[in-house]
Amino acid sequence: MAVRLDDIDRRIIDLLRADGRMSIRAVAERAHISRANAYSRLERLRNQGVIRGFTAVVDPEKYGTALSAYVSVRIEQHSWERFRSYLRDIPEVDHAALVSGDVDLLLLVRVADASALRTFVLERLQRIPEVKSTQTMFILDEPHLEGPLPRDA
Partner DNA sequence: TGTTGTACTGAACAGTTCGTCCAGCGTTGG
Partner DNA sequence: CCAACGCTGGACGAACTGTTCAGTACAACA
Count of residues making up the chain: 153
Q: Is 106 left (phi over 0), alpha (psi -120 to 50) or beta?
A: beta
Least Cβ distance, residue 149 to DNA (angstroms): 20
Least Cβ distance, residue 67 to DNA (angstroms): 28
Instruction: Say if residues 42 and 53 touch (Cβ distance below 8 Å).
Output: no
Return d(Cα 135, Cα 121) in angstroms, integer: 9
Binding mask 5-24 for DNA (x = CB under 7 A): ---x--------------xx
Give the binding-site size for DNA (rule: CB under 7 A): 14
For the four alpha carbons of 73, 78, 81 and 85, in that order, the dihedral sign comes to negative
The verdict on 34 binding DNA (CB under 7 A) reads yes
Single-letter amino acid, residue 132: K
Closer CB to a copy of itself, residue 127 or residue 149? 149
The verdict on 46 binding DNA (CB under 7 A) reads no
Residues that bind DNA (CB under 7 A): 8, 23-26, 32-37, 39-41
